[in-house]
Amino acid sequence: MKNQGTTGLDDQSRREFFRQLVLGGTGVFLSPLLLQSCSGEDLGRPPFGVWQDMIKVLEQSPDHFIGRRNTLVALKDPAAMTDFVRESFQILPWQSDFLHHAPYGTIYGKQMALRCGLATPREKAEILKDMLVEAGFEAKVVMEETEITVDEAKAIVYQKYSPDFDPPISKKKMRQWQKALDVVEGEQRVTVILDFIANSEALANDLLSKIDEKYIRDVSVNFRFNKAAVPTVVFYEEGVEKYAHIFDPKVPSGELHPTNQKQAFNNAGEYKEPKDEDITITLSCRNALDHWNETELLSGTWKLSELLGNQLQVQFLNNMSFEEQAVKTISQISSFTPCLALQDVYKDATYLEKRSFLGEPITLEGVKILENYNPDSLPADEEPGAVAKVQSFEGTVLPQAFPKVRLELSPKDAQGNIVEGLSIGNFEI
């Protein structure tokens, strides 16, 4: 029987519960009274204090690599650190030539590997070396000479690594979170998408079948592997040289690969971080009534290293405070501010603000408010006699996002000319 952890719930139930908590934390289900609540178990202002508490617990889950890394470094246990790196990270090969670049190659870098659990052999070795050095040990990456065959390397690479999602959540902690977010167990159900990988593959194959064969390029993989240059870590504990082979998961901690009978290895070349390219993302829209013209809402540029392993949220802020969101209805939202927000729980607010971008406020129709609506277009004071000149109004009704319309009024004199000089006080809705 599968271990269900401290909560008595299986993985799917735990994930669904977290989704419920996040839904409650968005303000959709929060009572306005919660914003001023306080108790002996107070976690701070909802939902932020709860989210911080959840992050601390999630960092203790086996599938949270950054949290496990930091814990093991603090324990200063070389064997535990070696086991973690060897058994947790899926080896990431190159698309064209498999592991030909394994001795020195990097694809996305160490930080992305810690966020996603995917790493090249050299990245795995560098992660372990950094952990050992941070824990106070002298360590270096070397190239181990082995007799590992290509078929054996393929079996290692294509072996699935899937650490469990099992944060230590007690039932008491769950009830505390529920109370803080006003979540009633059994309500706010979340739809779990089953077999999404199989469905995605079916969709991809269906799309490929519709492409003319002349546009499809078959890519063959050249399975190359340098058995005499396998990234391994050498470290020193109390002056004694020790080894940490992290490519083959069957090799115990403290040993080199069994095919390396001479215990031979060479110095590793310099580790090079992935090229830090500029990534630019632009958000644009088209009006349903004028779909030929595209309007750019905002654009942002980041370094590749800033995005790898993190999330970039596309948001349309409703221009309301957190308190206003709790008491106002959706129908009262009439404008939005587009935003590209970088999400990284390990960076401070200043870092994230610098790498997040705000556009100009727009209406439901995608019209930029500051460009098209000038609140100072009418003078505060009326020109003498302007009202007396008005003989008629010409009105135009323009459809907007349902159910709204836009009314444009043109005051005209007896000759049909537009009357100027009217003030804001001359109009009343």
User: Does 205 fall in a domain?
Assistant: no
DSSP codes joined into one string, 39-99: -TT--SSTTHHHHHHHHHHHTTSTT-HHHHHHHHHHHT-HHHHHHHHHHHPEE--BTTTEE
Instruction: Write the single-letter amino acid at 376.
Output: D
Q: Are residues 233 and 357 in the same domain?
A: no
Q: Is residue 400 very low, low, confident or very high in pLDDT (cuts 50, 70, 90)?
A: low
User: Does 245 fall in a domain?
Assistant: yes
Q: Strand runs (DSSP E) across 379-425, as ranges?
A: 392-399, 405-412
Q: Are residues 56 and 79 in the same domain?
A: yes
Cβ atoms of 401 and 364 closer than 8 Å: yes
Last residue of a domain, one of 371, 387, 416: 371
User: Does 201 fall in a domain?
Assistant: no
Q: Are residues 37 and 153 in the same domain?
A: yes
Q: Are residues 341 and 236 in the same domain?
A: no
Number of domains in the chain: 3
Q: Are residues 145 and 236 in the same domain?
A: yes
Query: What domain range is 409 assigned to?
Result: 374-426
Return the sign of the alpha-carbon dihedral for residues 361, 366, 371, 376.
negative
User: Does 116 fall in a domain?
Assistant: yes
Q: What percent of the chain has pLDDT over 70?
A: 83
User: Does 53 fall in a domain?
Assistant: yes
Q: Can you give the pTM of this predicted structure?
A: 0.69
User: Does 189 fall in a domain?
Assistant: no
Q: Are residues 366 and 409 in the same domain?
A: no
Long-range contacts of 27-36 (CB under 8 A, 24+ apart): 27/322, 27/325, 27/326, 29/181, 29/182, 29/183, 29/188, 30/181, 30/182, 30/326, 31/182, 31/326, 32/323, 32/326, 32/327, 34/180, 34/181, 34/182, 35/322, 35/323, 35/326
pLDDT at 373: 60
Q: Are residues 349 and 390 in the same domain?
A: no
Identify the residue whose tokens are 């977010």. Answer: 181
Q: Are residues 358 and 412 in the same domain?
A: no
Lowest mean pLDDT: which of 1-10, 90-99, 151-160, 401-410? 1-10
Per-residue pLDDT tens over the stretch 57-77: 888 888 899 999 999 999 999
Q: Are residues 311 and 395 in the same domain?
A: no
Q: Is residue 235 very low, low, confident or very high in pLDDT (cuts 50, 70, 90)?
A: very high
Q: Are residues 79 and 149 in the same domain?
A: yes
User: Does 364 fall in a domain?
Assistant: yes
User: Does 207 fall in a domain?
Assistant: no
Q: Are residues 244 and 350 in the same domain?
A: no
Q: How far is CA 68 from the centre of its chain?
A: 20
Q: Are residues 316 and 407 in the same domain?
A: no
Query: Does residue 101 have a pLDDT over 80?
Result: yes
pLDDT at 86: 94
Find, among 390, 383, 425, the residue nearest to 409 by Cα: 390
